[in-house]
Copies of this chain bind each other. A is one copy, B any other.
């Protein structure tokens, strides 16, 4: 059967072992670190064009098994696809219309999976977004604390200020802003599982009066400028290009004049949605984040300012997200037995590939992470931001 394999596969000298359904083994290079177990003859032909999407799909569907460190799996998969993929195979990343029902379903698919599963590999506060490594040597928990502090400092959050948290997840940032900065937080999510645990944790910490959490669509946010500050972390990736203008308008309508709005999220490498990094985007769209769409920084910037907000500070944290995902992936890999008790086998396969694959993708620059701080100036164009950003680093 090895005769069916593309002849140039051996030229790559990859540290990869192939094991076929009949027990045949083939090492594609010295000292294999990963074994690809091909359980089904029909897969062999696909190996001629092994895009990350195709390999990932075969693994999720159980037609191949992968043995070895997940980070090596991704690295070798990328090398394979780089060498062998037919570039014409790559497809445009889809952009779809979004409505409240489809958004609610998409959010539920990902975030309602299992609170206990996420708790297995997230930090204790369950902050599910890019951490902030101030020195590069701190652990995940410290880096997530530092991220929340960095966000609150960028927002110049003051005691008693009303903070809107759009897409509040398990409420880690809401609790932090209330506890450490004395804010009155209103957080919204579309995930019932997140809301339940987030409310419970706020209550357990005695923050129930300071942290109000609701199941609410961003389209239904109050538009009377009642909030002093707005923070949105890992949220705009779910909005879809078609609705980004509306999304920005809703944030504008929610915040008072003089108020700050922080959008922290994953951004695309290119402005036009063309694929990068030899695939992976299709896998993410199909199995991980249905309806997810990554806007380019320029796209976000345009919509934010067309809504009447002014971009005052942008920071790129791409390599911080690579590091964050390495932590998450390593923590999940270290608890696979427990994880298998909490989610279906297919979900576990998806999340293993997704976390390791995104760590790799951020490191390579296939996508990025930007914190975009904007202000709603007063009518006369003025605002009260400090002259410099030095206060963030004192």
Interface string of A360-378 (1 = CB under 8 A from B): 0001111010100000010
User: Does the CB pair B387–A389 fall under 8 Å?
Assistant: no
A305 in the interface, Cβ–Cβ < 8 Å?
yes
Contact call A387/B316, Cβ cutoff below 8 A: no
Are B313 and A134 in touch, CB under 8 angstroms?
no
Task: Point out the residue from B134, B305, B306, B388 that lies within 8 Å of A388, measured CB to CB.
Answer: B134
11 additional contacts (CB under 8 A) given A313-B316, A389-B389: A132-B388, A270-B305, A296-B302, A298-B298, A310-B316, A311-B316, A315-B389, A364-B380, A365-B381, A390-B393, A393-B394
Return chain B residues, CB-CB under 8 Å to A377.
365
Q: Are B313 and A387 neighbours in the complex by a CB distance under 8 Å?
A: no
Evaluate contact between A368 and B310: CB separation under 8 angstroms. Answer: yes
Is A299 located at the chain interface by the 8 A CB criterion? yes
CB distance from A168 to the nearest CB of B (A): 25
A393 partner, pick from B133, B301, B315, B393, beta carbons under 8 A:
B393
Residue of B nearest to A150 (CB): B388
CB of B365 within 8 A of CB of A269, answer no
Residues of B within 8 A of A389 (CB): 315, 389, 392-393
- Complex Cα–Cα for A136 and B390 (A): 13
Instruction: Indicate whether A199 reaches chain B with its CB closer than 8 angstroms.
Output: no
- A75 CB, min distance to chain B CBs, angstroms: 11
A278 at the interface (CB under 8 A from B): no
Which chain B residues border A305 with CB–CB below 8 Å? 269-271, 296-298
Interface centre among A136, A298, A319 (most CB of B within 10 A): A298
Cβ of A238 under 8 Å from chain B: no
Asked whether B306 lies within 8 Å of A316 as measured between CB atoms, the reply is no
Question: How far is it, in angstroms, between the C-alpha of A164 and the C-alpha of B270 when the chains are bound?
Answer: 26
User: Which residue of chain B is the closest to A318 with respect to CB atoms?
Assistant: B310
Task: Kindly report which residue of chain B lies nearest to residue A304, judged by CB atoms.
Answer: B298
Sampled A-B contacts (13; CB under 8 Å):
A134-B387, A270-B306, A296-B301, A296-B302, A297-B301, A297-B305, A310-B365, A310-B368, A319-B387, A363-B380, A365-B381, A389-B389, A392-B393
